[in-house]
Amino acid sequence: MKLTNGMILAAGFGKRMMPITSKIPKPLIKIGQTTLLENCILRLKDFGIEEIVINTHYLSSEIENYINNKNFNLNINIFKEKNILDTGGGILNATKKFNNDPFIVLNPDTIWNTKHVKEFESLAKIYFDKKNPALLLVNKNKSYDKNFKGDFNINYKGVISRNKSNQMIYTGAQILDRTIFKDLNIKPFSMNKIWDQLIIKNSLVGFESDQEFLHVNSREIYNKLIKEKFIY
């Protein structure tokens, strides 16, 4: 089965990027000449995604105007949250039209490159083979920002766990479907709640990325990335 649906999480306040985000939402911050949001959209398009939903809240109109003024040649729909719903609630709310079809979710805070597209393909294979939600993980030694403590571990079968000491970081890419939200209402909740439930059942799987992990999580890191990693 081919994946054609995708989602981008874009509702956050970007507080750690202030004062940059006082006037523009974090997804519209530029890396070189490309915004974080556009970078996400282009990588999803490279992956073969045909329809994208984007959840928004903070400075939503800025994102709406940006999408309306661009020609991505994709079906892109924006779902504005009246009250911010966190990651889990945001995904549940924005993906209704996907029914139970699988979709990929990207966090635009990560700087995705073209090599990640192959890893998305590997992640999709694991999702379909294991019939379980799948996360793209990376060894924390590959993180540009050394402050990450690790979110998960992964065994040789690709099964994800959480322990007192965790070697792997969640990159911000996951493939899932709405069946994991059974009996949940649209309200604020984190995907961590869902992941922890899946981990108990050994039903969360993953693929390890081989790419350096570049994540725009603070103004300090952003300034360093611009200075050290990119040529204008």
pLDDT of 49-69, one tens digit each? 999 999 999 999 999 999 999
In single-letter form, the type of residue at position 222 comes to Y
DSSP 125: H
- With vertex at residue 122, the alpha carbon angle to CA 157 and CA 3, rounded to the nearest 5 degrees, is 120
Average pLDDT, the chain: 95
Which stretch, 7-11, 15-19, 144-148, has highest mean pLDDT?
7-11
What is the domain partition of the chain in residue ranges?
A: 5-227
- Which pLDDT value is given to residue 231? 40
To the nearest 10°, the Cα dihedral for 51, 128, 200, 179? 50
List Cβ neighbours of 164 (8 Å cut-off, separation of 6 or more).
none
Please state whether the peptide bond connecting residue 19 to the residue before it is cis, i.e. omega within 30 degrees of 0: yes
Topology adopted by domain 5-227: Spore Coat Polysaccharide Biosynthesis Protein SpsA; Chain A (3.90.550)
The whole model's pTM is what? 0.95
Q: For residue range 163-199, list pLDDT tens digits in order.
A: 999 999 999 999 999 999 998 999 999 999 999 999 9
Taking residues 73-86, report their average pLDDT. 96
Backbone angles phi, psi at 45, to 5 degrees: -65, -45
Q: Name residues whose C-beta falls within 8 Å of residue 106's C-beta, 6 or more positions apart in sequence.
A: 6, 7, 8, 9, 40, 43, 44, 112, 172, 173
Contact present, 85 and 58 (Cβ < 8 Å):
no
